[in-house]
Amino acid sequence: MTDLRLGTAQILGEREEQQDSYGHTSQDDDAIATNGGIMAVVADGIGGHAHGGDASRRAVAAFLEHYQSGQLHNDLPNALYHALIQANHAVLDFAESQGEVENCGTTLIAMVMHHESRCLHWIGVGDSRLYLLRNGQLAQFTADTNFADHLAKKVARGIASRNDLFAEENPHRLTSFLGLKKLGKIDRSIRPFPLHQGDVAMICTDGIYNALSKEELSHCLSEEPQTACDRIIQSILEKHHDHQDNATVAVLAFGFKDLNKHDLPVSKVSVADPNTTESIDSGEPSEIKHPAKLRLLILGILALGLMILLGFLWLQHTQDVNRVEQKIVEETKPIEPELKIIKKPEQPPRKTNQKNKVK
């Protein structure tokens, strides 16, 4: 079995209640690991809504229970999707029991690494995120489903102005989360994402990525997964933020190698395939990168250069032809004969016959 390693960590921060929750499948359960890989899930109860902590705990419990039941493990994207739907039902049922329908919600992000297929799968809703570290480059794989993202896309399509974006009082207000009768945007993989030896995937709540930069996260993730999680939490604590949110992180490493003891490749590569993701009900795929884009860009530049060269050669050829034709016309122009005016010799005056003259 390919070496898969898992790490998790969590802090309360400066909050009175822990509204984050997390869980994962057992690495010791060969039946689940063989068919369903190693799955980790993180949820963040929505602040300002009722029972945020209860919502996140119920969502994680329901997600884990359904995923570990083994249904649809031959189709991991659908297994994750059905687990998400069950988690949403669990939050809705709890909200109804508390008389808080659509006022009780949570984010959720889950990922699976499968050792046999050497692939990554994920699904998420809300603003909890998935990142992937490859060759020292950290990429965000998921898009936040908040009002700022919604307005930004409208601005890009020309149906809203930048002033609308800046005027929004609460740009981080979520537009899709668990606890809604009809889920909005769901960010999920629709095809397996191929993993490379040494890839590290991280799922986390906003208390992580709002506290640390990508550079700081990349540095921490170069360690073994559990050590990486511990270092991330320690780095946050050392900043002493006055309003530090709950923070939860889970890390999965594929064929882990200690990046501090190995030289990183000089070349950088993008780490995501735009054809592996979709956004349900939104029609707007997540913006992620892949080497294929770079290849297409290079091919496009070469094609454009070739077209410009051909255009220049055609223009030069056309000018040469015009010059030759002009020269031929000048050389073959008929010479008009010089007209000479020949004067008719004057006739001598006529002599009058005097004999016929009448007297």
- Integer Cα distance of 38 and 32 in angstroms: 8
Do 324 and 249 belong together in one domain? no
The pLDDT of residue 230 is above 70 = yes
Q: How confident is the model at residue 248 (pLDDT cuts 50, 70, 90)?
A: very high
We report the CATH number of the domain holding residue 168 as 3.60.40.10
Do 178 and 34 belong together in one domain? yes
Residue 273 lies inside a defined structural domain of this protein? yes
Choose the final residue of a domain: 265, 289, 313. 289
Q: How confident is the model at residue 43 (pLDDT cuts 50, 70, 90)?
A: very high
Do 169 and 304 belong together in one domain? no
Task: Return the pLDDT at 240.
Answer: 96
Task: Return the pLDDT at 66.
Answer: 95
User: Would you list the DSSP string of 225-253?
Assistant: HHHHHHHHHHHHHHH--TTPPPEEEEEEE
The pLDDT of residue 282 is above 90 = no
Task: Return the pLDDT at 288.
Answer: 34
Residue 324 lies inside a defined structural domain of this protein? yes
Residue 344 lies inside a defined structural domain of this protein? no
Task: Return the pLDDT at 303.
Answer: 77
Q: Which residue has the higher pLDDT, 151 or 280?
A: 151
Residue 350 lies inside a defined structural domain of this protein? no
Question: 37, 61 in Cβ contact below 8 A?
Answer: no
Do 159 and 125 belong together in one domain? yes
Residue 357 lies inside a defined structural domain of this protein? no
Do 109 and 121 belong together in one domain? yes
The pLDDT of residue 281 is above 80 = no
Question: 139, 270 in Cβ contact below 8 A?
Answer: yes
Residue 356 lies inside a defined structural domain of this protein? no
Query: pTM for this one?
Result: 0.71
Q: How confident is the model at residue 268 (pLDDT cuts 50, 70, 90)?
A: very low
Do 284 and 295 belong together in one domain? no
Question: 174, 106 in Cβ contact below 8 A?
Answer: no
Q: Which residue has the higher pLDDT, 35 or 273?
A: 35
Do 296 and 281 belong together in one domain? no
User: Would you list the DSSP string of 314-352?
Assistant: HHHHHHHHHHHHHHHHHHTPPPPPPP--PPPPPPPPPPP
Give the mean pLDDT of the chain. Answer: 80
Do 283 and 314 belong together in one domain? no
Do 218 and 233 belong together in one domain? yes
Do 230 and 300 belong together in one domain? no
Task: Return the pLDDT at 219.
Answer: 97
Look up the domain containing 215 and give its range: 4-289
The pLDDT of residue 293 is above 90 = no
Within 8 A by CB and 6+ apart from 124, the residues are: 107, 108, 109, 110, 130, 142, 186, 187, 188, 203
Total tally of structural domains belonging to the chain = 2
- Integer Cα distance of 111 and 203 in angstroms: 7
Residue 63 lies inside a defined structural domain of this protein? yes
Task: Return the pLDDT at 324.
Answer: 47
The closest of 80, 157, 85 to 122, measured between CA atoms, is 80
Q: How confident is the model at residue 156 (pLDDT cuts 50, 70, 90)?
A: confident
Do 141 and 97 belong together in one domain? yes
**pLDDT tens-place string over residues 303-356:** 787 788 777 776 776 666 566 456 544 544 444 444 444 444 555 555 444 444
Do 283 and 317 belong together in one domain? no
The pLDDT of residue 198 is above 50 = yes
What is the percent of the chain with per-residue pLDDT over 70, rounded to a whole number? 69
